[in-house]
Structure 1
């Protein structure tokens, strides 16, 4: 499976592509950052991020896009920019019929380092080891993008099984409710005939 990880940001949007191989091997196919100057207008910055991320999608042809879920922070302006970039990335993926998976920062940290409270340095160190990189990806946004991709790769099979089980349970519940409704109607029509 080929996964594009995106750490959304308006000034620096981290992007990283990984691919799973045999025996749980994971290869890094590319990592980088899409940058926009803070002096540019918002619309121009969003367009630049969209073009940059779309370029990565077109060049690497991922099967799924993993994006960091916007998390409440103190700085509302930062959250707004991150949310806008997340929307841009989801739209670009949808235009290519690519599924988008959102992962919380703590889920990514836990998947990569074993602790949902790991700091950026720990995540960067672990992602460097996991992918067998010669040097740590820089800046941290690039390492975070790779961490998102690896997190998704590792968690997708379990998430798929959970979703499949939930869908099956929902179908069983619908079937059960339909049988109950049929039985109630049958009792009602039978009761009416006996009078």
Structure 2
């Protein structure tokens, strides 16, 4: 199964593709989509959408996993990130992908085993689990890979639950 993990944003979107082969997690491609700060917001959203469509077409994931929004302070930032998140989900749905959403707490628990883990702990576990030589930069990229790993672990658990129910 090929999983696309996305850490949504408007200035920087982290993305990561991983393959889940049995119990192995294999990194395929990862990086970031960046938009210009002083560009019209509509143009920035279109740029994020277009880049997401191109990535999906090129790497052909089976599922998109994306972080749920969690903001407790800056409402303006939450709205802007929500809009970017929406165009990325739209790109996934238009490509026929199932969309899985995870909270930061779920991602930390799946990757580190502890919901209050610090960002550095998550990044280090991403490096270890994917056998990378260094932590991906910017941080948004490591976060996107963590979201993909979270889905890999969650889907494996869900498969086991479904088998027990049969």
What displacement does 1:156 show?
1.2
**How far is 1:157 from its partner?**
3.2
CA distance in 2, matches of 1:74, 1:165: 42
The alpha-carbon distance between structure 1 residues 25 and 157, as it changes in their structure 2 partners (threshold 3 A), is closer
* CA distance, structure 2, for counterparts of residue 93 and residue 139 of structure 1: 23
How far is 1:127 from its partner?
A: 0.2
Q: CA deviation at 1:164?
A: 9.1
C-alpha distance in 1 between matches for 2:41 and 2:164: 42
Deviations 1:12-47, CA, capped at 9 Å, x for gaps: 00000000124x111100110100111001100000
Normalized per residue, the structure richer in strand is: 2
Residue in 2 aligned with 1:134? 133
For residue 3 of structure 1, what is the aligned residue in structure 2? Answer: 3
Please, what TM-score do these two structures have when normalized by structure 2?
0.93
Q: Deviations over 1:87-135 (max 9, x none)?
A: 1111001111100000000100111111111122111111000000011
- 1:33 is paired with a residue whose SS is strand
Question: Aligned equivalents of 1:107 and 1:156: distance in 2?
Answer: 13
**Separation in 1 of the partners of 2:163 and 2:79?**
33
Q: Which residue of 2 aligns with 1:180?
A: none
The one of the two structures with greater contact order (alpha-carbon pairs below 8 A, sep at least 6) is 2
CA–CA distance in 1 between the matches of 2:88 and 2:161?
25
Give the gaps of 5 or more residues in structure 2.
none
Instruction: State the distance in 2 between where 1:108 and 1:136 align.
Output: 17
- Aligned partners of 1:35 and 1:73: how far apart in 2? 24
Q: How many residues align?
A: 166
Give the Å deviation of 1:159.
3.5
Change (3 A) 1:132 1:44: same
Gaps of 5+ in 1: 169-195
Task: Output the CA distance in 2 between the equivalents of 1:138 and 1:86.
Answer: 20
Secondary structure of the equivalent of 2:84?
Answer: helix
